[in-house]
A and B are shown apart, each in its own frame.
Chain A
Amino acid sequence: EPEVTQTPSHQVTQMGQEVILRCVPISNHLYFYWYRQILGQKVEFLVSFYNNEISEKSEIFDDQFSVERPDGSNFTLKIRSTKLEDSAMYFCASSEASRPSGANVLTFGAGSRLTVL
């Protein structure tokens, strides 16, 4: 079964450092997303990406965040200068766009746990 893969599974960094989280979405999916989940809390939308550009972003996704699709398979989330409150599980997800219901069916990766010290 196709899956979304994420690396690293866990990253520990010092406050102020740059972090890049990597994702390989499902190959025939066209929409890509980053969500985050602080421990014990709900899944929060960060950004969606379609046709090589950001289609929507939340208020969390400020200037410290950026996304990129550097080649045909990878999708990355960069945090320029990490803060303590960025500590969370970051989930990449992808969805089909070929049918109306497809966009409601997100396939999530296993997540990258970011710990900022």
Chain B
Amino acid sequence: GQSLEQPSEVTAVEGAIVQINCTYQTSGFYGLSWYQQHDGGAPTFLSYNALDGLEETGRFSSFLSRSDSYGYLLLQELQMKDSASYFCAVRDRKAAGNKLTFGGGTRVLVKP
């Protein structure tokens, strides 16, 4: 099966940088994804890493190290609207149904 570990909560001020770490265990591996979920809302896709290295999308970047089974999401120039939960998710190559397994989520609270 798959398991993912990420911190439960992070607090930071506007303009700061936050790094959310995710470690995973899976019998196969076909990419690490990140999703954002505001309270009462649906998860929305942020980024995806299939290969080692950094992927940058505006203020958000995601990093993957397959040898360490580790990735992180970097949130830069934090804004109040970034207050949300952030989930890492893995897809097991062996999963015939393209199942994504989500971590427990990291609640990010941005303060003025």
* Alpha-carbon gap, A50 to B99, bound state (A): 12
Q: Is the CB of B97 within 8 A of A105?
A: no
* Alpha-carbon gap, A89 to B35, bound state (A): 17
* Alpha-carbon gap, A50 to B95, bound state (A): 13
Chain A nearest CB, measured from B78 CB (Å): 23
Question: Is residue B103 within 8 Å, beta carbon to beta carbon, of the partner chain?
Answer: yes
Q: Is the CB of B97 within 8 A of A48?
A: yes
Q: Is the CB of A104 within 8 A of B31?
A: yes
- Please indicate which of the listed interface residues B44, B91, B97, B103 has the most CB atoms of chain A within 10 Å of its own CB: B97
Q: Is the CB of A55 within 8 A of B96?
A: yes
Among the stretches A14-22, A80-88, A106-114, the one at the interface with B is A106-114
Number of interface residues of B (CB under 8 A): 26
Q: Is the CB of B42 within 8 A of A103?
A: no
Question: Is residue A31 within 8 Å, beta carbon to beta carbon, of the partner chain?
Answer: yes
* Alpha-carbon gap, A56 to B44, bound state (A): 22
* Alpha-carbon gap, A91 to B104, bound state (A): 16
What residue of chain B has the Cβ atom nearest to residue A105's Cβ?
Answer: B45
Q: Is the CB of A103 within 8 A of B101?
A: no
Q: A101-B50, A104-B31, A104-B48 are in contact. Are A95 and B98 (CB under 8 A)?
A: yes
| CB-contact partner of A101 in B31, B41, B101, B104, under 8 A | B31
- Residues of B near A104 (CB, < 8 A) are 30-31, 33, 48, 50, 89, 91, 100
Chain A nearest CB, measured from B16 CB (Å): 25
What residue of chain B has the Cβ atom nearest to residue A50's Cβ?
Answer: B97
* Alpha-carbon gap, A48 to B98, bound state (A): 7
28 CB-based A-B contacts, threshold 8 Å: A31-B97, A31-B98, A33-B99, A42-B105, A43-B37, A43-B43, A45-B99, A47-B97, A49-B97, A50-B97, A50-B98, A55-B96, A55-B97, A56-B95, A56-B97, A97-B98, A101-B31, A104-B30, A104-B33, A104-B48, A104-B89, A104-B91, A106-B43, A106-B100, A108-B42, A110-B41, A110-B42, A111-B42
A residues neighboring B (CB under 8 Å): 31, 33, 41-45, 47-50, 54-58, 91, 95, 97, 100-101, 103-111
State the 4 A-B residue pairs at the shortest beta-carbon distance, nearest first.
Answer: A56-B97, A48-B97, A55-B97, A108-B42
